[in-house]
Structure 1
Amino acid sequence: MTQIIRALSEISDRYDVLYCDLWGCLHDGYSPFADAVEALREFKAKGGMVLLLTNSPRPRASVEKQLEKIGVPRDCWDSIASSGDSARAAMLRGMVGHKVWFIGQPHDQSFFAPMDVIEEQVEITQVPLEDAEGIVCTGPEDPTADPSEMRGKFLYAKQKNLKLLCANPDIVVDRGDTREWCAGALAQLYTEMGGESLYFGKPHAPIYELARMRLAQIGVDCPPERILAVGDGLKTDILGAQGEAIDSLFITGGLSRAETGTTDQPDPEKLAQTLADAQIEATYSIGFLR
């Protein structure tokens, strides 16, 4: 059974590294959460390392620029591992071919930039669907549109046996008070229609491999039992931690606020039912990161 805590400081001495999610934990897409920022600063002040582990489809440098724009201070984290970089590495190795049909928004074109850490990168060309060897999806062109609008194009893509590379496994995200669809919703639809979707973010293994690489780059070698994953996505952050055999802190006031009855803290009975329904275990739970 999960342990409900009131502050990260209650358990922080047990851990050397935090894998901290961004959206819903550290910011809402518009503004940082002041209490969360202070909690991370306190963790670092005690010698801990904070790795931001995000399902953002953007490269690390683009995520950093986005954080700066939102106002998340640079002194509350140490490094970033993004689903975007994990998926980019696979794309640049040719996993979905050389000619790809791109699904996403103009600001996600940085996804196609070369990566210094990948040797012998293939040349990627964006082409119309009818000429494609594979699909690269960073998210819907219109995040508020129903994913089912893609059924016609996906049927054609499935008939061509195209693989869909999903740069962000999240199904939805809350931008302020508005819920938006993510790349994971399109990948889920494509899979349900019989197509093949490839995932690289939480809860899948490649992003955790990238996280370990990022830690190694800053000289950190931490055993799994000293790592705590923090996030509001049950089927991404918490399930991923469970798969990696690391402890987790479930932020119930994010995506699962309604189900867990969270105002300041979750309702214990509703929280227990939410976890049971999902068949996922969270080591700890808290209303909001603080």
Structure 2
Amino acid sequence: MANLSSPPPVPGLSALADSYDVVLCDVWGVVHNGVTSFPEARAALRAYRQGGGTVVLITNAPRTSHFIVEQLGVLGVERDAFDDIVTSGDVTRALLAERGPVRFHHIGLERDLTLYEGLALTRVAPDEAEVVSCTGLRNDLVETPADYEAELAALAARDLPFVCANPDIVVERGHQLVYCAGALAARYAELGGQTFVAGKPHAPIYDAALERAARILGRPVARERVLAIGDGAPTDLTGAVRQNLDVLFVTGGIHSGHFGPVDQPDAGAVHRFLDTEKLGARAFIPGLRW
């Protein structure tokens, strides 16, 4: 593995492609920003696949992969840019299914309720719940975790398990940073509550993604032949390092303010950031391109 605290810049994915059979690519911040997709990123993934590589998108989206494929299409991401997709929502469904019939309190957008369809779950009021399932804030354009303080404290006081469907703390939607379910899960843990998190940086989503890649290739995948691509230190980089996977750090995402000009990040600033975070990368790039 080559996760280095002082990684070199690379001009594009093509500089690394021959060393890897599989790419596990983050979506939000790398392929799109929630408003528009990035043409160079789409082209890079298509070129990698045309060269024989396998691309599995791996995202902390709190919805099932079917809905994310549809969303990607709306944002202009061509279907030939990836082989498969694994979402935090997919893994969350598996975690909830293991609990069997249960009464749950949902925190998040009403549209996210499709996540629970077909499971032996009953949505109830907070005081009747046996488990909390959080897909995000109810109005992430204006709310912050502070708006949930009383609700989270009351749930934590009852020692209810908190299943987080999106470990991201924030994402960039267009040019606005918005809070995600991970921010509420972090506060719930601070209040003494027990949390269960399915997505990056935790192992279940990587296990699922590597299983999909092996199924596509028809053989097991050696980890040294897998490259993770992502922009988030707490999720993408941490997850890759924990899984002993090399990572291509996209500096132009949520941490771009640390590195100077977005298109020409300062290498020293990147290295200092990784050193502070106690993380490493195989290489870095401002935005995914071929």
Smaller-chain TM-score range? over 0.9
| Residue 31 (structure 2) pairs with residue 32 (structure 1) | no
Question: Identity of counterpart residues, as a percentage?
Answer: 39
C-alpha separation in 1, matches of 2:278 and 2:209: 25
What is the CA deviation profile of residues 140-179 of structure 1, one whole-angstrom value per residue up to 9, with x for unaligned ones? 1011311111111111111111010000100000110111
Measured after TM superposition, the shift of residue 54 of structure 1 is 0.5
C-alpha separation in 2, matches of 1:221 and 1:262: 40
Unaligned residue ranges in structure 1 (runs of 5+): 115-120
The one of 86, 109, 125 aligned to 1:105: 109
What residue identity is the alignment partner of 1:239? T
C-alpha separation in 1, matches of 2:50 and 2:102: 46
| Residue 81 (structure 2) pairs with residue 76 (structure 1) | yes
Contact 1:136 1:167 in 2 (8 A): yes
Contact 1:253 1:262 in 2 (8 A): no
Distance 1:36-1:220 versus aligned 2 partners, 3 A rule: farther
C-alpha separation in 1, matches of 2:219 and 2:125: 44
TM score, norm. by length of structure 1: 0.94
What residue identity is the alignment partner of 1:22? V
C-alpha separation in 2, matches of 1:212 and 1:288: 24
What residue identity is the alignment partner of 1:148? A
Measured after TM superposition, the shift of residue 248 of structure 1 is 0.2
What residue identity is the alignment partner of 1:259? H
C-alpha separation in 1, matches of 2:78 and 2:155: 42
| 1:277 aligned residue | 276
What is the CA deviation profile of residues 34-62 of structure 1, one whole-angstrom value per residue up to 9, with x for unaligned ones? 01111111101110000001011110101
C-alpha separation in 2, matches of 1:150 and 1:71: 35
Aligned residues: 282
What is the CA deviation profile of residues 238-282 of structure 1, one whole-angstrom value per residue up to 9, with x for unaligned ones? 111101101000000001100122421310111111111111111
Measured after TM superposition, the shift of residue 220 of structure 1 is 4.8
| Residue 176 (structure 2) pairs with residue 160 (structure 1) | no
Matches within 5 A, 1:1-290: 1-94=6-99, 98-114=102-118, 123-144=120-141, 145-218=143-216, 219-290=218-289
What residue identity is the alignment partner of 2:203? A
C-alpha separation in 1, matches of 2:219 and 2:51: 15
C-alpha separation in 1, matches of 2:226 and 2:219: 11
What residue identity is the alignment partner of 2:50? A
What residue identity is the alignment partner of 1:157? L
Runs of 4+ in structure 1 deviating by more than 3 angstroms, as ranges, are none
| SS of the residue 2:229 aligns to | strand
| SS of the residue 1:258 aligns to | helix
C-alpha separation in 1, matches of 2:8 and 2:93: 37
What residue identity is the alignment partner of 1:242? V
| SS of the residue 1:47 aligns to | coil
TM score, norm. by length of structure 2: 0.94
| 1:117 aligned residue | none
